[in-house]
Structure 1
Amino acid sequence: MGVRVSKDWQAVADAINTRMEQLGLSQKELSERSKVSPATLRLMQQGANASRSATTLAAVSTALGWKADHLGDVAAGRPASGDDAEQDLREEVQALRGEVAELRAGLEGLTAKVARLSKS
């Protein structure tokens, strides 16, 4: 008979909720991406003490941009396996900052053009 190791479902909930906030994902969007029901996601987000299959954990991990075993590692109290999600997020933020700067410059140009036209 194998020894049953308890899982830290609250740590899983915290990881999911933090990542969803970082990515701006709703529960519905995560459900669609992961193919996990909203009811199951809700329980996971609440840290409900209910065993989750490795398949479910992997689906949610992948949908959140992590390696498939990320949430399994979190549940088991292991450090997340060499995952680049944080670096990816930093790169995405940097790219968005560049896009915002371009949009700002374009808007300033349009504002100046409108000002010139209105003086005519």
Structure 2
Amino acid sequence: MVVMKQARHPEPDEMTLIEVMAALSDPIRVGLARVLADGRERGWGELRAPVAKSTLSHHLRVLRDAGVTRTRQEGTRCFVKLRRSDLDARFPGLLNAVLTAAHSDDVGDRVGLTDKPSAG
């Protein structure tokens, strides 16, 4: 039997402003937040970014460790979702401000979704 390590997600009261802002200080990570802002859970394979897969994995881990996203593993597939309600409860208005400014300034606009869903 193979035991898979489950990712640790900080509780909302463990999230810090510094860690969340640091996680959102990179254009790729802001782009990922923009893609996930629709509230849908996405398989990692659906995400498209102008970086190597290992670098994309790093960016997703930074977002998860800061509490910006939640990662769920199902077999060999990984899925990610924006933790909007937790972020809004902990830091009211922050995520909307970041996403609005990112949209206005085209920050993260090179991140998107693949044309068709794939295994996460």
The bucket for the TM-score relative to the shorter chain is: under 0.3
Task: Give TM-score, length-normalised by structure 2.
Answer: 0.26
Higher RCO (C-alpha 8 Å, min separation 6) = 2
Judging by fraction of residues, say which structure has more strand. 2
Larger Cα-atom Rg: 1
Structure with greater helix share of residues: 1
- Please report the TM-score for the alignment, with normalisation by the length of structure 1: 0.26
